[in-house]
Amino acid sequence: MEEVTKSIKHVFFFTPYWTEKRGNATTAKRITTGLKEKGIYVHVFAYAEETWTTAHASKLQQCDLVHILHFSRFLRWNKTVKLVIEQPLIVTSGGTDVNEHLDVNHTETIAFLQQADAVTVFTEDAKQKLEAYSKRKVSVIPQSVWLPYCEMKRVGQEGAPHFLLPAGLRQVKDVFFALSSLRKLHSLYPSLMFTIIGEPLDAVIVDKVKEIEATNPWVTYKKPVPLERMAALYEQATVVLNTSISEGQTSVLLEAMYMGVPVIARKIPGNESIVTHHQNGWLFQTEEELYHCMLEALRKPEFYKKMQVAGSEYIKKNHALEQEIFAYLTIYKQTER
């Protein structure tokens, strides 16, 4: 740590979620764990889940640097708290920030980004979108994989095709997109299983998922499990799906590939930052393309094996935790005053 930063010993880390099993919580836990392993004291505050107290305010005053995850949610929360941040400020932006909450009319957002000493994103696409709003250089720091392990009992028939879709139940995740393709596939593979796992965020979508589950015995919805149980769920999957309309850089694909599970993902910039079609996974745009990707995964075992190996090797080379944490520490050093 001494080689990277000398004056920054205490970091106050703002994240929207810590307890809820969502992508932001995974990102926050991974980054803060990595920082702590490098000897930095990190105080975490989950602003969408916790109440701000004088104890938190005291901790904030003691810190050398403030790191905020997800600027749009933070700004909404801070309208009532009205914190004034005097320390060096790092802002890390996710996909929802860039894709859904950024335009030239958001003067408050622009002012906040320009106040930041550094802005980081997960992908080149996000960098290009955000650069117009930040007076400082936007840095790309790809997400890494941090996946504790806890063994679980296998579900379903051994060898039965199992498609897993980890996603919070909200509109942007478009969890129903794959159903038509899966129904056609189920007629060819009667033992096929489809599992959706994620936070029940939108009541309308939750009700529809449960309705589909009730009328299709091969479809299962599970509420999210602790991160350490996800590795075993990946192990039980034949393929991991991502059908999102937009993403920053989802940890789901990274984790699946890390576990050696091939991925089939919608062709959007966030997913394309990880998956290259027919090189380390599959990409689709239409239902027909998705169906053919699924067929290829099940009918071409040698090609399936190639995607397993290529995906795992890609993650080890490009998304190591040590690389990610070193990149953040380098940014921290650049903000030293």
pLDDT 10s digits, 116-139: 999 999 989 889 888 877 767 899
Q: How far is the CA of 152 from the CAs of 229, 241, 249, 304, in angstroms?
A: 7, 21, 27, 24
The confidence score (pLDDT) of residue 7 equals: 77
Q: Under CATH, which architecture does the 162-318 domain have? A: 3-Layer(aba) Sandwich (3.40)
Q: 329 with 282: CB under 8 angstroms?
A: no
The confidence score (pLDDT) of residue 229 equals: 86
Per-residue pLDDT at 103 exceeds 80: no
Mean pLDDT of 230-246: 94
Look up tokens 């002012």; give the residue. Answer: 111
Q: How far is Cα 63 from Cα 268, in angstroms, rounded to an integer?
A: 38
CATH number of 10-144+320-334: 3.40.50.2000
Nearest to 112 by CA among 68, 177, 56: 68
Per-residue pLDDT at 3 exceeds 80: no
Among the listed ranges 47-61, 244-258, 297-311, which one has the minimum average pLDDT value? 244-258
Q: 185 with 192: CB under 8 angstroms?
A: yes
pLDDT 10s digits, 64-94: 999 999 998 999 999 999 999 999 999 998 7
The confidence score (pLDDT) of residue 1 equals: 43
Delimit the domains of the chain by residue range: 10-144+320-334, 162-318
Tokens of 6: 């000398």
Q: How far is Cα 95 from Cα 116, in angstroms, rounded to an integer?
A: 18
pLDDT 10s digits, 266-315: 999 999 999 999 999 999 999 999 999 999 999 999 999 999 999 999 99
Nearest to 45 by CA among 72, 74, 21, 71: 74
Same fold across 10-144+320-334 and 162-318? yes
pLDDT 10s digits, 189-220: 999 999 999 999 999 999 999 999 999 999 99
Mean pLDDT of 174-180: 97
